[in-house]
Amino acid sequence: MENKRNVLMERYDFGRLLGQGNFAKVYYGRNLITGQSVAIKVIDKEKVLKVGLMDQIKREISIMRLVKHPNVLQLYEVMATKNKIYFVIEYAKGGELFNKVAKGRLKEDVARMYFQQLIRAIDFCHSRGVSHRDLKPENLLLDENGGLKVSDFGLSATAESNRQDGFLHTTCGTPAYVAPEVIYRKGYDGAKADIWSCGVILFVLLAGYLPFHDANLILMYQKIRRAEYKFPNWFSPEMCRLLSRMLDPNPKTRISITKIMENSWFGKGFNCNAVTIKNEVTGLDPLAADVIFDSCENDSAPAEAKKEMSQPASLNAFDIISLSSGFDLSGLFAKDNQKKETKFISMHSASTITSKLEDVARFLKLKVKKKDGGLLKLEGSEKGRKGALSIDTEIFEFTPSFHLVEVKSSSGDTLEYQQILENGIRPALKDIVWAWQGE
């Protein structure tokens, strides 16, 4: 029986499926001219347009052309058809570094080797004005020789993304690895936030578990803000000193990459001249990201990639906030309806959510008090069996298109709160709610 090949744009053979997410599938591929192995990321245009992520993809392309480094996964080519976007990227045969850590902690020399390559790559990114903002073992890949490759620049930012105060303000990243100042939402230095994430990664490599962990996301954030963690007894004093300076909750006193490279523990076996970096920026034209997405050619993806989904992307809260696959948040979305708090996901902007909550409060004759950090307090004017009812709502932004909103009773009668929630708040918010907890 004839073995039919799946060929993309007459340039690449499509092979086996390597992995998939809600918006994309990644296939093994081969360049038909050079025979080089590649990975081909196939993105569903309709889905990313529906959730407003197209600008993020364009930004990712622009950023990846800036960071040509041996320890950064390379983007070779981008193509598009009417329905699909194709990223042709470097093939990392060794898979995710996370898979190694999942089997247990690494030996100190091995962990240091990976950490040295990570710092070298991030130092180069920062020299190009790029902050990664989602560093974690799942985004660190390995080539066939064990060389580390930093990947997934979808949440990255450049200096141009800074506001007038010179800081970034978008809360993003993976909760267990995110820096405390990112949680504060008062502006942060992306490079300093990356250093914190590198510190968490180093801890994980050496310990085999996360320094900050709690089944409840809010409680975990409190630990991160206070830098509450303990070193295992097998950590050497040198390692502890370095990690303490990287996991400093004050970004102003947090160690710099230059100082990390000067650290005695880091420097063991480190050759700063081990790689040659090209100073020139090569790759795609800056306008290419806009031009290729206007393509209306016939789709030429393999049969599996051609299957269109008639249903909208089925995302849950765990997908939205891009949590580590080994991180348990089962306590976050409890199913006990008598609890004093509940949460929902919204795809609307924070300002729209706030405006809707204010409308609901007025309809329910509740007073509204605004506080810092996206917190709204809704208060009843009449006293119930246990005093005046008070409801706190807080908005957490994980990407510009996805928000987690927590609604909880801070005082008053629980039964009264449940009645207002079920008969008033939930029905009134149906236009902006994508999914309530447990749904």
Residues 253 and 382 in one domain: no
Least confident of 38-42, 130-134, 174-178, 324-328: 324-328
Q: Is residue 56 part of a domain?
A: no
Label residue 304 by pLDDT band (50, 70, 90).
very low
Last residue of a domain, one of 234, 267, 300: 267
Q: Is residue 32 part of a domain?
A: no
Q: Is residue 345 part of a domain?
A: yes
415's enclosing H/E stretch is helix 414-420
Contact call for residues 377 and 390 (beta carbons, < 8 A): yes
55's enclosing H/E stretch is helix 54-64
Label residue 284 by pLDDT band (50, 70, 90).
very low
CATH number where 400 lies: 3.30.310.80
List 13, 44, 123, 134, catalytic entry: 134
Residues 243 and 353 in one domain: no
Residues 109 and 230 in one domain: yes
Least confident of 116-120, 138-142, 262-266, 289-293: 289-293
Contact call for residues 130 and 67 (beta carbons, < 8 A): yes
Label residue 299 by pLDDT band (50, 70, 90).
very low
Amino acid at 188: Y
Confidence at residue 112, expressed as pLDDT on a 0 to 100 scale: 96
Strand-strand pairing, 435-436 and 24-31: unpaired
Label residue 257 by pLDDT band (50, 70, 90).
very high
Last residue of a domain, one of 238, 267, 296: 267
Confidence at residue 384, expressed as pLDDT on a 0 to 100 scale: 61
Label residue 297 by pLDDT band (50, 70, 90).
very low
Contact call for residues 295 and 30 (beta carbons, < 8 A): no
Residues 117 and 257 in one domain: yes
Last residue of a domain, one of 267, 301, 317: 267
Nearest to 24 by CA among 4, 43, 3: 43
Strands, E assignment, 324-386: 341-346, 366-371, 375-384
Q: Residues in the chain, how many?
A: 439
Please give the tally of structural domains in the chain. Answer: 2
Does residue 134 carry a catalytic annotation? yes
Q: Is residue 249 part of a domain?
A: yes
Confidence at residue 438, expressed as pLDDT on a 0 to 100 scale: 59
**Who contacts 24 (Cβ-Cβ below 8 Å, separation ≥6)?**
41, 42, 43, 44
Digit-coded pLDDT (tens) for 8-18: 888 999 889 98
Surface-to-core class of residue 139, CB atoms within 10 Å of its CB (0-12 exposed, 13-18 middle, 19+ buried)? buried
- Count helices and strands (H / E) in the chain: 16, 17
Q: Is residue 399 part of a domain?
A: yes
Digit-coded pLDDT (tens) for 225-235: 999 999 999 99
Residues 232 and 115 in one domain: yes
CATH number where 195 lies: 1.10.510.10
Residues 384 and 262 in one domain: no
Backbone angles phi, psi at 25, to 5 degrees: -125, 145
Residue 343 annotated as lining a ligand binding site: no
Q: Is residue 187 part of a domain?
A: yes
Would you state the structure tokens that stand for residue 415, as one six-digit string? Answer: 């039964």
| Cα distance between residue 341 and residue 248, in whole Å | 32
Residue 67 has a CB neighbour count (10 Å cut-off) of 25
389's enclosing H/E stretch is strand 387-399
| Cα distance between residue 375 and residue 180, in whole Å | 18
Q: Is residue 130 part of a domain?
A: yes
Residues 236 and 107 in one domain: yes
Q: How far is CA 61 from the centre of its chain?
A: 17
What percent of the chain lies above the pLDDT cut of 90?
39
Residues 101 and 235 in one domain: yes
Confidence at residue 401, expressed as pLDDT on a 0 to 100 scale: 62
Residue 288 has a CB neighbour count (10 Å cut-off) of 16
Backbone angles phi, psi at 370, to 5 degrees: -90, 140
Digit-coded pLDDT (tens) for 81-119: 888 999 999 999 999 999 999 889 999 999 999 999 999
CA distance readout (Å), 300 to 210, 308, 355: 43, 13, 45
Residues 261 and 347 in one domain: no
Q: Is residue 248 part of a domain?
A: yes
Per the model's pLDDT, the better-predicted residue between 116 and 187 turns out to be: 116
Confidence at residue 416, expressed as pLDDT on a 0 to 100 scale: 84
Which of 50-54, 82-86, 374-378 is modeled with the greatest confidence?
Answer: 82-86
Cα atoms in the 13 Å half-sphere on the side-chain side of 228: 10
Digit-coded pLDDT (tens) for 318-366: 333 433 333 333 333 334 444 567 888 887 888 888 888 988 888 888 8
Residues 106 and 241 in one domain: yes
- What average pLDDT does this structure show over 397-401? 64
Confidence at residue 395, expressed as pLDDT on a 0 to 100 scale: 85
Residues 243 and 120 in one domain: yes
Digit-coded pLDDT (tens) for 17-43: 988 877 788 999 999 999 999 999 999
Least confident of 57-66, 261-270, 317-326: 317-326
Confidence at residue 296, expressed as pLDDT on a 0 to 100 scale: 41
Is the confidence at residue 213, as pLDDT, over 80? Answer: yes
Per the structure, the complete domain to which residue 259 belongs is given by 95-267
Residues 256 and 359 in one domain: no
> Whose structure tokens read 């978008």?
170
Confidence at residue 406, expressed as pLDDT on a 0 to 100 scale: 87
The DSSP output letter for 129 is T
By three-state DSSP, how is residue 362 classified?
A: helix
The whole model's pTM is what?
Answer: 0.66
